[in-house]
Amino acid sequence: MAYLQLKGIEKFFGGHRAIKGVDLTINQGEFIVFVGPSGCGKSTLLRLIAGLEHIDGGTLTLDGKDITHLPSAKRDLAMVFQSYALYPHMTVYDNMSFALKLAGVSPEVIRDKVDKAAQVLNLTQYLQRKPQALSGGQRQRVAIGRAIVRAPKVFLFDEPLSNLDAALRGQTRVEIAKLHRELGATTIYVTHDQVEAMTLADRVVVLRDGLIEQVGTPLELYDRPANQFVAQFIGTPQMNVVAADKLGPVAPSLQAAAGQALPAGGFVGLRPEAVSVRHAGQGALSGRVDLIEALGAETLIYVTTETGAQLVARQNARSGLHAGDAVSLEIDPAAAHLFDAKGRVQHT
């Protein structure tokens, strides 16, 4: 069931068409993540949904009601910002209860709601502190708590974790995931962070230049990207995309596995885990190691083949290889993605 529906949504900044007619259907309880390169329109689309920017074209409906031009305060949505936007002179309790007070909710009901949210967010012991006496992660939890107590129809998050250090970002990400499991609230979340997108999302929306490139579950996007852009945007390190003629003797077997020939100028996409690298010996492709990145649990091996292709391979074991070593490469033909010269996926 469509809960939040975007139809032909457009936004202009002066003469610049920043959002170019976006259609998207979000179901109740879904966790949707917007990703895409800087400037693609993620935040703008979120702000249009929030009512913080005027929608210049198209319609937006929430729970069957047209809210395209409804003022932000009347949309029953709550937004959590990167900057937290807490009131510095108020305690955590007052920050969290402020919107309810304004709405004329009774003090008993407010206490009950704030206490429950504080419990869920592990903030009970901080309720009488002011924001400056909290860590960044705690402040962000207060910002989330302030949204929760309002029990909005939709939660909107704009890069909520990007001001936190890596460890805290990881912890808070897990908390957000747990919270979503507990509350089941419809959520839209903008991020730059691949791991956040892949771990939090029921569905990921990949945006580029004001348009949607693909919508799918994290693994659908990873396993079946619709085009080269999505293929290279999702996954770290990036998918290897190599001109087919640079794969020399391997190209025919990849095409055979895919059941089709590549058109002239086509490309082959290989996730780093689809490439394995061994000390020189048997193997369809030979090359030389440019660089090894030993990350502990996994090793990334950057290789240039004799045919001129540059590839990165990922393996779980320590490689025992060094920069400059001569190597053989094995490629899993079943894992190859074929793209035409325009980057469109070649369907079998």
CA-wise closest residue to 143 among 204, 79, 235 = 79
Stretch that binds ligand ATP, among 22-30, 32-40, 128-136, 223-231 (CB under 6 A): 32-40
- With CB under 6 A as the contact rule, the residue among 26, 33, 42, 120 that binds ligand ATP is 42
Q: Which residues 6+ apart lie within 8 Å of 72 measured at CB?
A: 50, 51, 52
Structure tokens at 91: 């305690």
Min dist. Cβ of residue 210 to ligand ATP (A)? 7
Q: Which phi and psi (to 5°) does residue 124 adopt?
A: -55, -45
Pick the closer one to ligand ATP by CB: 221 or 242.
221
Q: Among residues 42 and 337, whose Cβ is nearest to ligand ATP?
A: 42
Closest to ligand ATP by CB, 40 vs 270, is 40
* Minimum distance, C-beta of residue 15 to ligand ATP, in the bound complex (Å): 10
Min dist CB 264 to ligand ATP, Å, is: 34
- DSSP 8-state code for residue 247: G
Q: At 240, is the secondary structure helix, strand, or coil?
A: strand
Asked if 169 is part of the footprint of ligand ATP (rule: CB under 6 A), the reply reads no
Site for ligand ATP in 171-200 (CB under 6 A): 192
Helix (H) or strand (E) holding 137: helix 136-149
DSSP conformational letter for 328: E
Residues in contact with 76: Cβ distance below 8 Å, sequence separation at least 6, in sequence order? 62, 152, 153, 154
For ligand ATP, how many residues bind (rule: CB under 6 A)? 11
The DSSP output letter for 125 is G
Q: Which stretch binds ligand ATP (CB under 6 A): 42-50, 171-179, 251-259, 269-277?
A: 42-50
Give the interface with ligand ATP as residue ranges (CB under 6 A): 13, 18, 36, 38-44, 192
